[in-house]
Amino acid sequence: MRYEFVEGWEQLPKGYEHRDVAGVACDLEDRVFLICRSDHPILMYDNRGKFLGSWGEGDFTLRTHGISIGPDNSVWATDDGNHTVRKFTPSGKLLLTLGTMNAPSDTGYDGKDTRTVTRAGGPFNRPTNIAVGPKGDLYVSDGYGNCRVHQFSPAGELKRSWGTPGQGPGEFFLPHGIAVASDGRVFVCDRENDRIQIFSPDGEYLSEWTDTRRPTHIVFDAQGRAYVSELWWQPGQKSFRYGPAGDNPAIKSGRLSVYDKDGKVLARLGGQPGENPAAPGSFAAPHGLAVDSRHDVYVSEVTWTFAESRGHVPKGTHSFQKFKLAS
């Protein structure tokens, strides 16, 4: 599988900007929805990159985090700044709220360092992403201030939660991205443990994939292939799996990985030795992704938060890119 960077796809209107694009999703019509940390939280495009409008102004914090499209074309948005996951129509009408606005659960979290989470809590403490299962159940990864996955009914009733702090099976250190396969298995990006854990629809641990690096989000295409966005370990940081990051140039840019249903790598973009993360087609801070009906891939990046503000990339580095599947 080969992908080509599509230059100039996003036709961002004059006066709009997004230093961080937290997530991206494609609806049933291949419209593209971005959730941004900006004055215009939700941006909409057609599949050619034409701007269709924005909504959510004043309704989100500057810690928007994830976005997903339901089977009814509804838009699910997570906001870890106000501890909610909300369901909207494609035009922005609020339909349902999960969690209590500005009321985090008690997990011992100090508000800054994920390592201070000492116990599992209920929904939510800085939730990260949501996925809709084949039977309509809702699965939320509750990550920065918690260590759990919460399963809700289609109507929003809590059915069960699982996860505790740690590195063992069924334990999490920042559950960050989540997706449900067509057979109902739940895939969770256990970001700081450098793995993707796989569970039954009811939360039973099944297995894990470890050929990944700080996975941030995961989505499936119609053929069951899994697409994963991955961050990199910065100098001075330490991975439980890979050890100290050091100054190895091979890990100074993010990447995108494509896996088959068994976890075998089919393709990788980015993450090459000596790669410039600010160059078009490379990755500074991949945080979310989406795949449309043509198998084209859209990657959102939290460039300012993760890389630019820390001096790893220059001002104005890309925060959203499209890649076309080469014929």
pLDDT tens digits, 136-147:
999 999 999 999
Q: How many CA atoms lie within 13 A of 157 on its CB side?
A: 3
Dump pLDDT digits (tens) for 262-315: 999 999 999 887 889 999 999 999 999 999 999 999 999 999 999 999 999 999
Please give the pLDDT value at position 250. 46
Mean pLDDT of all residues in 109-136:
97
Structural domains in the chain plus CATH codes: 3-325 (2.120.10.30)
Query: In terms of pLDDT, which residue wins out, 252 or 84?
Result: 84
Per the prediction, the chain carries an average pLDDT of: 95
**Residue 249, pLDDT above cutoff 50:** no
Please tell me the predicted confidence (pLDDT) of residue 246. 66
Q: What confidence tier does 324 reach under pLDDT thresholds 50, 70, 90?
A: very high
- Of residues 150 and 1, more confidently modeled: 150
For the segment 234-248, the average pLDDT, to the nearest whole number, is 81
